[in-house]
Amino acid sequence: MKNKKKILVILLLIASVLIALGIFSYLKNKKTPNNENVFSLPEGAVLTEEQQIKFEEANTALKINPNDAEALIKIAQLKYYFNDLEGAKTIYLKVSELRPDDILVLNNLADIYDQLKDYDNEEKILLKLIETNPGWINGFRALKNLYAFHMKEKYPQMESILLKGIESNKVVYGEAPVDFYSMLAVVYQDTGNNEKAIEYYEKVLDLDPENEGAKMELEKLKSI
């Protein structure tokens, strides 16, 4: 009788261990709600042959290394293509932790936030983008448009932001691209500082004598 009890106790212990191991394995491999659809595409998405290869290669790489930035970007690009903006945003945010200064990632995140009308986060991303990549003109242009159309109270701040961008580019390249001076001239014109607008349109024409837009605006300002 005692031996039977001992055997029963041992069997119960073994069963408990097996159940515990099973629960642990399930929890370890179970996808959390936040990550459940990270690597999947929207239902009904029809991929081209090239997209299918890209998708399969990315998933294979992510099974080996879930932090493979290139593979994550491929999935994010596909999600964006199929208009899964929230899904693309989630992945790009993960990649931004791996590559904090990556122009492509920050630029695409800003674009997604703009489409989602999340202008506060778009501003944060664009400010980070131009701080870490001062030569990226599109970042300054996107921030100018954001302030001009959605955060008008901040539009005058573009003066100091563009001036800083010009100086940063001068340090690295010797001169800033003409687009910086064009944007600054427009900001001065929009905010009523015609004297400064004239100064910077003239700078634009020094760098780009055939710029017809600058010629027209300069003539208009000088006739006032």
Confidence (pLDDT) at 37: 57
Domain ranges of the chain: 48-99
Residues 6+ apart with CB under 8 A from 67: 98
> How many angstroms separate the Cα of 127 from the Cα of each of 79, 89, 190?
25, 18, 21
Count CB-CB contacts under 10 A for residue 116. Answer: 13
Confidence (pLDDT) at 112: 98
> How many angstroms separate the Cα of 204 from the Cα of each of 135, 148, 158, 177, 194?
17, 21, 17, 10, 15
Of the candidates 184, 123, 181, the one whose C-alpha atom is nearest the C-alpha of residue 149 is 123
User: Model pTM?
Assistant: 0.81
Q: What integer is the mean pLDDT of 21-39?
A: 45
Q: What is the pLDDT of residues 52-111, one digit of tens each?
A: 999 999 999 999 999 999 999 999 999 999 999 999 999 999 999 999 999 999 999 999
Q: Return the minimum-mean-pLDDT range out of 38-52, 85-99, 150-164.
A: 38-52
Residue showing tokens 């039977």 = 4
For the record, the structure tokens of 135 come out as 């030569």
Distance of CA 185 to the CA centre of its chain: 28
- Work out the burial of residue 169: count CB atoms within 10 Å of its CB; fewer than 13 is exposed, 13-18 middle, 19 or more buried: middle
Count CB-CB contacts under 10 A for residue 211. Answer: 17
CB 161 within 8 A of CB 168: no
Q: How far, in Å, CA of 74 to CA of 3, rounded?
A: 62
Confidence (pLDDT) at 150: 98
Q: Please check the confidence at residue 199 and state whether its pLDDT lies above 60.
A: yes
Q: How far, in Å, CA of 167 to CA of 155, rounded?
A: 20
